[in-house]
Structures are given as C-alpha cells and as structure tokens.
Amino acid sequence: WKFVWTRDTSYAVDLALAALDPTRSRNSLEFKLSALRSGGGDEIIQDTGSGGSYPVSTDRVVWAIGAGRLLHFLQGSERNAFLDKTWEAVKNTIAQDRAAVFSSSEGLYLGEQSFLDWREQTYAPWTATDTVQIAMSQALSTNVGHLALLELGVELAQEKNDTVLAAQYQGWASDLRTAIGSVFFHSEYGLYGTFTPGFLDRAAVKHFDLLGSAFTVLHDVGDAQRQAGVVAAYPHLPKGPPVIWPQQKDVPIYHNRGIWPFVTAYWLRAARKVRNDAVVNHNVHSLIRGAAMNLSNMENFEAVTGLPWLDDGSFSGPVVNSQRQLWSVAAYVSMVHDIFFGLDTSANGIRFLPYITRELRSKLLADAQTLVLNNFPYRNRDITVVVSLPPVTASLEGAYAVGEIRLNGEPVTDDFLTGTMLSDRNLLEITLLDTPEASGTITLETDTTEYRKLFAPLPPVISGISDASGQLTLTLDSGGEATTDITYSVYRDGVLVESGLPGSTTSWVDVTADPLTEGPCYTVESSFVVTGVSGHLNVSQHARPVCYWGDSYERIATINATAFSASGGNLVNNYGYFHYESWGAPGDQLEVLNYTAAYTGPHLLQVLYGNGAGPFSTGITCVQKRVDVFAGATFVGGGYLVMPHLGVWDDWRDSNFVSVELEAGVSYRIVIFHDPYSINMSDFSHNALYSGTGGASGASHYVNIAQLKILSRVGTL
C-alpha cells in the first residue's frame, strides 16, 4: 500500500519494526494521530472502513500495541517526545470511545473485528449492506485492543505520575478483562467466540478467529490453563492456521479460507508463551513454506493449498494479495527474533529466552551447533546473541530449556537486562539444555475433502414470528442449506433455549414466553451433523434476530418527521419520506416535544435514516448523533445513534438502538443533536485531503431522518 494504515502499521511495528527501524516506526505511528479540524488534542485515526468507518469500525485502538512496543526501543528526547504525543492520544481516545462505543450492560466495546473488516467475509451475509449490525456487535479482537489501550494508559499515567487516571484505567482494564472472558468464552470448545452479533443478539457466535485468540493469550485474558487450552484447541490445516474457523460457504477467498502470515506470527508468540511445541513447529513451517515457495513475503494464502491464488470460480482468491507486504515481512522477522532467539521487551529492559523445539532442532537446524543474531539494535546499543544448541536426539517432542546466560562474559539471570547493564556493544551467550518437557498438542484437521468439516452451514432464516394461541411461534428456513445436513439451535434474548431440532423443522413454539406481557428476541443457528475437528460440529452464523412487538406491532410507536420540531435543514418529501434535508450540522437539532409512554420498562429508541454519503464498504462519514430523553427537566437516559453509509440517498434503513427506561403515562421530550462525542473521522485534520465525502470539502455529518421509533420490550397488550 502506498499509504500508512493504522492497523497494518501498528501490527508491523509491534512484530518487528520497532526494533529494526524505530524512527520510521515513530513517524508512521505519529502520522495516524490527529486533532480535530476544530482544534484540541490528538486522537488515534480510524482508517476508512465499513459503513463510513468510526463508529462501525473501532479497532483504531490497536495503535497502542505498536506504540507500546516502540516505547521499549526509543530513548532520550525521542522517547520523551513520542511518549508525550502518545499520552495525549491515548487519553483522548479512551475518553471518546468510553462515551460513544462502550456498552455498560455487557462491559464491552462495540464495533467491527480488528483486521477482519470485509463484512460478509467473516460476518453473516446480510450484514454486507446493513453495517449498523456490525456497529452494534462486539468483537473479541477489538475488545482486547481496547484492553491493550487501557493497559498502555496505565503505564503512561504511572510514568506521568497521574495516579487518578492510572487507577481509573486499571479498574476499567480489569473489568474489561473479566467481561471478555464471561461473554465470549465457549467452554465446550475451549475457545473464545469471535463476536456477538448485535444489540438484539448478545450470544457469542461459535466462530473463532486466530488474531483475537492470540490476543487473549498475549494480554492475559484467562488464567494460564485457559491460555494453554486456547492454543491447543484452535483448528489448524496442514498448510497452517486459517485466520477464521470454520470457513464461510459461497464467499471468495480472502479472510475467509485464508492464512495470513502476520496473524500466524502473533499465534507463534502465543504458542511460545504457553510452551506448546506442536503449535510452534506447525506455524514455523507455515511461515517458512509461504516465504520459500513464493520468494517473497506474501500477504495471504488460500488455507488448504497454501497458494497465493487458487482458481475456484466466483470464489477464487485471495482476491487481494501482494508481495513484500509490510506486516508479512515483520511477521517473518518476528518468528526469527521471538521464537528462535526468544526476544522479549518491557518498559524496563530486554531479554532473550530462545524457544527451540526438538523438532526444529532436528528438521531445520540439524547441521548447526549455534545460532547467532548479530548486532541486534537496542537503544543505541548493539547486542549479539549466540545460542548454543544441545545435540540432536531421536525424540522430536518437547522444547529445550534455557540454561546458563552470560552477558559480556558474566553470568546473569533470565530477567530483563536494563540499560545500565549494557555496554555500547554486547555479547549475550545462551546455553540451551535438553531437559524433559511434556509435549504440547495441536488441533489439526487433515480431512480437507469433506466440506462439512471445513465450512459452516449457511445461516438459517427466521421468516416469521407470531402469537399462536398465547404461545410465540417462529417460522424457520434453512437458508439454502440441505435440511438433512443440519440441526437447529434457538436462542432467546441471548440465551440458548433449544438445541438439536431436526433440519426439517419449519416452526418452533416457545412454550415459556408470554406474548401478552413480554417481547423477547430470537435467533437461530444451524449445525452440520457431520462431526468436524476435535469432535465438534461446525456451526453457522446466527440468523438475523427477530423480536415480538405484537402481532400488529403494538409495542412500536412511530413519530414521523412532520411531527418534529427542528433547527437546521428544510422539511421536504423526497425519496418516499418526509425528512429534513441538509440536516446534521453540529448546531442542528430534532426534537419530539411530547411523547407519552404506553408501557413501563425498557424501551429502545431507533431512527429510520438515509445516508448516501458513501458506499457500504468504505468512507469516513458514518453519522453519529446523540439522543437524550427528558421527563420535564429530569434527564432520563440517552446514547448515540449510529447511521452508517447506505450507498444512495433513496435507501432507508433503521439505525442502531439506544436503550432507556420509560414509565407508562409519563410525558417525555426526546432530543436528537450533535455533542462533542458525536464525531466521525471526517472531523479530523488527518482527512483534510481525503478525496471522498468529508475530506477536502470539509467534515460532514449530514443525514436524513424520517422517523423516530420507540420500541417497548415489555407491556401488556
């Protein structure tokens, strides 16, 4: 890419470039910081993305992973200057995201997966043109990215002697780590689900991703036993680890059916941490094979064949690929540094604790007695590392232990080497010992001909919901999957309530819900009947959720734009609805002066909107507006409405939901407006030269709002 991307650069810097090229790493990371055009402090930039980027895409926080690593390698005035910029950006980004994309009910942050940002590649197919669903989802990888941001915030706050923020960030990080474990972890798989699909469906899918899984290990989500279990449980194919599992049917090769070296490198770090020799061996061979067979560091490969291109009709791919890809180069260097030489850094120092397995010794290093890393650069010092290997043995299981370590001829411990311990030029000598160690296990699917072992079923469809004689009945459809190949499971309000339904089932009755008093939400997943890897069944993405609002939608109140009190824009009837055209500038406001609730309990606010500022796939002008509810002068509740791109202005879709508690018979005032947290990426100076809407022409928050909906989750009909 002839550009600096936040996530690509951050991951590449963390994997290797912080050590090899710290100044350009600093310049690149700083390029992804920006103040608002209106002024103020820097924040981290979210690149162009799904639905117009932030707050659909929210993984800008992974910048902190690269920045934290770079701080380990900078020193003196250069480190101080970068630390100051980082501290400002970290504080401001944490504050913005806490206000706009944090869900207090689950304790998780909202938004798209990190790196897996091509909608239908890893989400249900119906999200491809309905990206507000992704905005309402909660992703494993992105939440661990937020955890990394908070933990960096703790470190910087302590260095800046800001004890108040250090304590606050530490508390938030601790709570987030707990929430990630409780929401995403599937104990029956020993793995974390990759995301929860949305506001109406908070059950984590039984799909898994390699990057998020690696991050849970590297950032200590779960205890040591769980971390080791995650590394052992994630499915591999003979050519390496796919970045998602299972694969998605009828979707081209890219993230789907893909091996990505930079993710493999993170997985290697995780495997090294838990000392799983089997996973290390397999992934080292995957990285070496990919580079050797292509004589370059390709960005990705088809997962079964390991090819950089596979002809497979309309699903051929990887659909985007390139040689000498930055984060793939960094991945290979990471393998050498982090595995063969055991590089580890902290704010306090550096150490090398090689992780050499017996298999790597026998198959790759049989003719070597020592490994040498010459002149490794560290804070204007050079360290040459010499690793002495034990003799080759017949056994291929387990890994060697670190024995004696000498720095410039003097014995040292395996703790971090501080700057005061190092000379300008250093010789670090490490002796490995062949001591007994239990071998790790790997989950490997070798049957690549049975598609039901590799792929998930197509997601099912809930085609109807109705009250049948006092019981709620769902109408089910297989979504195009052969009904003889699947069974169904049903979730109500995020909780599994039925499983093992035959694929021939066309309706299901909820015998416990009372449609007269409650409005539950349902989703369904399909499972293949053919047992897949490790005895598990591959499971579909969830069906689009449906809720019961009454047979005649009695629990939904709709207020049209003609009833709004407005400042800004002009009331017009275009594209099939009345709305305020040219509305959305920071000073504009829509207000419902008097709404009397019919029910007491939880309600959802939602708007019917149009946003043709850009396509579903990219841009920087997803619109965010604050909605607040008042009873007289008393603030009742509120939140942020998210209105992503729809490609054209004559398409109308529903926004996300904002939850509030209302009381029957009480009159409320509802206000939609722009506040300091209602930002999108067009607000930042960084995008002043962007060629699309919201770039050179100025920040853009224009959106058409045709209706305000108030949906009651409970209430007697």
Instruction: Indicate the pTM of the whole model.
Output: 0.98
Residue with tokens 């959106």: 703
| Domain containing residue 598: CATH number | 2.60.120.260
Which residue ranges in the chain fall short of pLDDT 70? Answer: none
- Which pLDDT belongs to residue 716? 81
What does the alpha-carbon distance between residue 494 and residue 196 come to, in Å, rounded to a whole number? Answer: 9
| Residue 665 domain-assigned (yes or no) | yes
Sign of CA dihedral 49, 52, 54, 56: negative
- Which pLDDT belongs to residue 717? 72
Last residue of a domain, one of 530, 547, 564: 547
- Which pLDDT belongs to residue 436? 85
Instruction: Tell me: do 682 and 706 sit in the same domain.
Output: yes
Partners of 428 in the β-ladder: 385, 407
| Residue 581 domain-assigned (yes or no) | yes
Reading the block at residue 203, the tokens are 């059950």
- Which pLDDT belongs to residue 189? 97
- Which pLDDT belongs to residue 536? 84
- Which pLDDT belongs to residue 401? 98
Instruction: Tell me: do 584 and 680 sit in the same domain.
Output: yes
| Residue 233 domain-assigned (yes or no) | no
CB atoms within 10 A of CB 262: 29
Instruction: Tell me: do 433 and 353 sit in the same domain.
Output: yes
Number of domains into which the chain is organized: 4
* Span between the terminal Cα atoms of the chain, in Å: 57
| Residue 9 domain-assigned (yes or no) | yes
| Residue 321 domain-assigned (yes or no) | no
- Which pLDDT belongs to residue 86? 99
What does the alpha-carbon distance between residue 568 and residue 162 come to, in Å, rounded to a whole number? Answer: 42
| Domain containing residue 486: CATH number | 2.60.40.10
Instruction: Tell me: do 22 and 82 sit in the same domain.
Output: yes
Instruction: Tell me: do 638 and 674 sit in the same domain.
Output: yes
Length of the chain equals: 717
| Domain containing residue 159: CATH number | 1.50.10.10
What does the alpha-carbon distance between residue 261 and residue 291 come to, in Å, rounded to a whole number? Answer: 9
Instruction: Tell me: do 180 and 62 sit in the same domain.
Output: yes
Domain range for residue 358?
Answer: 343-443
* SS3 assignment, position 423: coil
| Cα–Cα–Cα angle for 70, 72, 73, rounded to 5 degrees | 70
Residue with tokens 């275009």: 574
Q: What is the pLDDT of residues 614-666, one digit of tens each?
A: 999 999 999 999 999 999 999 999 999 999 999 999 999 999 999 999 999 99
| Residue 276 domain-assigned (yes or no) | no
* SS3 assignment, position 357: strand
What does the alpha-carbon distance between residue 92 and residue 177 come to, in Å, rounded to a whole number? Answer: 21
Instruction: Tell me: do 50 and 166 sit in the same domain.
Output: yes
Q: Is the peptide bond before 460 cis (omega within 30 degrees of 0)?
A: no
| Residue 232 domain-assigned (yes or no) | no
Instruction: Tell me: do 8 and 123 sit in the same domain.
Output: yes
Instruction: Tell me: do 641 and 670 sit in the same domain.
Output: yes
Distance of CA 98 to the CA centre of its chain: 16
Sign of CA dihedral 577, 578, 584, 585: positive
Residue with tokens 């509810």: 629
What is the biggest distance separating any 2 CA atoms in the chain, rounded to whole angstroms?
A: 85
- Which pLDDT belongs to residue 531? 79
Instruction: Tell me: do 587 and 504 sit in the same domain.
Output: no
Instruction: Tell me: do 619 and 695 sit in the same domain.
Output: yes
- Which pLDDT belongs to residue 47? 94
What does the alpha-carbon distance between residue 455 and residue 460 come to, in Å, rounded to a whole number? Answer: 15
Last residue of a domain, one of 416, 443, 470: 443
Last residue of a domain, one of 518, 547, 576: 547
| Residue 89 domain-assigned (yes or no) | yes
Instruction: Tell me: do 367 and 506 sit in the same domain.
Output: no
